[in-house]
Structure 1
Amino acid sequence: MMQPKVELNFRHTYLRCFLISAVVPILAIFVILSLYYDREAVSFSREVLAGAMDAGENALETSFAEIEQISFTPYLYKEVSQTMTYMKNGFLRPGVEGYGYLDLASLESNYTMLFTKMLHSSQQKVQAISFYPFGAALGDCYAIERDTAGLSRTQVSAAEVDRLYGYTVPHGSAPAFLSLDGDEPHQTYSLLRTIKDYDSGKELGILRIDTSLSSLAPCLVGMQVTENSALMLCDSQGQIVYCDGTVKPGLMEQAQGGADEGVLGSQRYTFQRRSPGSTGWTLFHAASVSDIRLSNAGATFLIFAVTLLAFLAAFILYRAQSANMISSIESILYAIRQLQEGNLSYVCAVKDKKELLMIADTLNKTGKKLDDLIRTEAEARTSQSKAEYLALQSQINPHFLYNTLNGFIALNRLGEKQLLETSIIQLTKLFRYICSNSDVSTPAREFDFATQYLELQKLRFEERITYTVVVGEGTGDLPVPKLVIQPIVENCIVHGMEEDDEPIEIILRSYVKKSGEGQAALILEVVDTGVGFDTAKLRDSPRVGLNNVTQRLNLFREGSHYEVSSTPGRGTTARIIIPLESARQ
């Protein structure tokens, strides 16, 4: 009769522990965070908006920089500067007779073609590129517009040219960005720049580039505007050229005043401002604090709901676990013994927990033992792979070295000092390449190494060896494993040359090939005109060096492999195929 009472007290004890350790802290933390979150929500939203403003500022700077790049055209192209000089002198006016040696038609055509290309190739929506010359042609306007073809000439007043010039004076040699639309809302903004002669430095006129304001809209994506908030973009004259939201009277003045916060009526605002580049433009954002709190109310409720669900889930799990704790301990201990004996397939149905220290200690020992075994196995495999990798990299045929040195002795006895010096330098380059620390090379360097190897082999075989190297376009700098070509070239000489004096030609080439599924692969191909062999016998040969090449290809990039095709008496073709995707680290 006592056992049920003891079990009941045991459950009550665990329930009290659960309430004290889980429920009370959760409620306390939720209340504290609710009070703290309201104060920090505004600060957090301000930081998020600051990031969006920074991104918008960078995007605006990029847009302005692209337009500014077009304005450098007269300084980058001499014929454009010359055409503008002739415009200033009035040579391009209708009916004006130019000098016979001046090819004005060609200059005008090049000028029009160049600016038309820039107008249509720019990512910004450039509407027109105009030039207002000074001097004898004051009042002329030469324009290239998006919707019309060719160079058009119109007449404007001298006062209009002076007005445009007045905008550029404060900026010196830098361009001025501003909105020149007479009507609102503004549709375009303009770059104005005083153009000077390339050689004399005299002012030729005003270059004007008109761009649609809609091209700036993507730069401002991501800045949230609520019911009482506003986003404004002002040009260097203080005019609002872009606005998202409602700009209430007095809000613009407070935003331009430099304060971080402001009050308008019953609303409290936080201000953000950015000045993209040296354009004099300013990006303003006025965020309503009440809107921020309203937008965060949903997040607060969601946190509360998730916390409540987490508490309910924890309570249900607690009840399920504590119901059978005592009856489960023996099954746990038995499972531990099975793991220690190596029966890793045993599955124990544990419903509760007891004697946590013993269980944790036993499981930790078991886990450590398994971890040590796995680590030892992994290190052994890694060491084996590294040994094979290094064995191939350090592989150089002693007979090749012996024959090469004998060739050097022969050259010395014949007095061929220049050829001897060149050959020694080539051998030095070979060893420098072999001993370099990098495991990765390129087709160009691999072919260069193979070429030096072939040149040294020609000391022994003289004119019996000829070779051709073709590095395909775009393949020279692609990554490949180091020392994969030379072993194949060495096989061409060792196994491909006949015992008589028949010559052999070796062709090295690289190219990119696409499969039917659109997968691209780099192909390294070695072709020789040697004796060839029966490929059916290839499977029975040791091929230690080529097996290592294959293993290194697999380690370098998944899907890489090595293919050989040969016909007796007609030569051999070896290909290394390396996919250009799915590269391993």
Structure 2
Amino acid sequence: MSKQKHPHSIKTILTFAIAFVSISFTLLISAILYSQFSSTIRENATVSTREIVRQVNANLNYYTNDILTIAGYARDLSKQTNELSRIEIERRLSSIVDSRQDIVCLLLFDLEGNVLLSTTDAPLRSQEEMVKQTWFTRALGGEGNFYFTGPHVQQLFTSSYPWVITYSQQISYTDDTGELSQGLLLIDMNFRTVSELSQSAKLGATGYVYFIDNNGKIVYHPYQQLINSDLFSEDLDSAQEYIFGTFTNTFEGRQRLVIIDTVNNARWRIVGVAFMDELMAGLDQYTAVMLIVLGFCIIITILLARTVSAYISRPIRELDRLMNSVERGDFSAPPTVGGNQEVAALSQTFAVMVKRIRQLMDDIVTSQEMKRKFELDALQAKINPHFLYNTLDSVVWMAEQNDTEGVITMITSLAKLFRISISKGRDIITIGEELEHVRNYLIIQQIRYQDKFEFSITMEEGMENLPTIKLIIQPIVENAIYHGIKYLQEMGHIDIKVFKRKPGAVVIEVRDNGVGMDEQKLSNILSFDGVHPKGAGIGVRNVHQRIQLYYGSDYGLELSSELDVGTLVRLVLPEQKPIQPIKGVQS
């Protein structure tokens, strides 16, 4: 059997709905902002890296142009041998080399490898070794074209072997005869300038710039020594595919942004390498801040959702509480609830309905009260004729016996009885007045039965003014006489006691030593459907009904009886505040 799901409260539904929509919108906006910011950071990082590489390229072009200018000056001097001596030309070229820390030497060779001009006095290698070197072979046969040979160990002198970059070009010069001849101009530069240009480029914390030639070989790399020692590797294959441009790749576990640009004069390529985790470090900070702000916004959203839902649902819950109160029978206050227009209208409609129900219930209560009064009056009307019949029967009997004094006494006692019975129209009298009524009744019955029984009446002190329904003891005493003591051969006894029984109950006890009753008769005597011979139990049953109609089902008569022993009847009433006796009723 499937369990029925418990419905959620409107506050929970509203809270969830508002929070879901708000948080979804916040997450959507956050995702859009994150995407835009991430794209912006990536784009800015790319632009910034590209600008750095371009700046390095511009600086390197400026430097190579400066070398080209020096080479042009040397070409011009080499054509002025008729005007200037070799010593003067070398002196001028040496002054330029001495003024530049980046230039190692400047030399002019003929095509056979012989030195024509030199800025140094260091001993040179043989001409056979010169013509075999790369810088010589590359420039040979290409007059007008210049070449930059990548870093290599200088092989010009027999006494020093520095790492240099060589500029070489086949040029025309004026020989000793004044004729133009072909030669090779060489300018060796150290690594300092290129290294400074590369190291000045800051591409994040660990990014770097390196140079490669047309063949994809490294011209300069800041980690050249580590590469030579196989402690560091470079992704030359990817760089070889691009002359210029931008791309990203992953090499040795790190994503890299690679910027490639071409150095015009040297025909080298500048490769800038920046690592994405460093470039996007700002994004990580932004993400952390965004998560904090997002978490704060979600908390605020939930709190606002609960506040709004509570504001909306509070009148409904208040109306529900009032409905439950009305369901439990509480119609004390009109259920008016404020709040939004719909709930207020519903509350007013419910208030009108409750007011109508309360009016109908008041009408029912009034009707029931009147019904109960009519029933009490009807029950009392049944008792009075019954009692009057029995009393007059006794008077007739005494008149037949010519007992004038007894008749007068009985008529006088009967008058006193009826004064209390009338009680100025009141149904409630004091216990003292009720006992006085019974006393007069017993006096009448003693005269009738010629002292066939005796009676006693006792009451605890201070109970005489406690209220009771009138005419409730006399029917019990009457029943004891007519259905108990009347059939005794010996003297009968009727004892009446009034006392309090906790909690808050008054007990009027009537005990007789009559013939008693069996269990069957005792169990039926208070039954509305019981049929008793000769009207036995009518008065007892009426008294029980009157007490319960007036005070409720917790009160009434308690009976016990035993054949040939007697009967005990207890009238149980609630203890109430004392009242004043009725004036004009005399004993």
Fold shared per TM-score above 0.5? no
Identify the TM-score tier after normalising by the shorter chain: 0.3 to 0.5
What is the TM-score with the length of structure 2 in the denominator? 0.36
Q: Normalization by structure 1: what TM-score?
A: 0.36
Query: Greater RCO between the two (CA within 8 Å, min separation 6)?
Result: 2
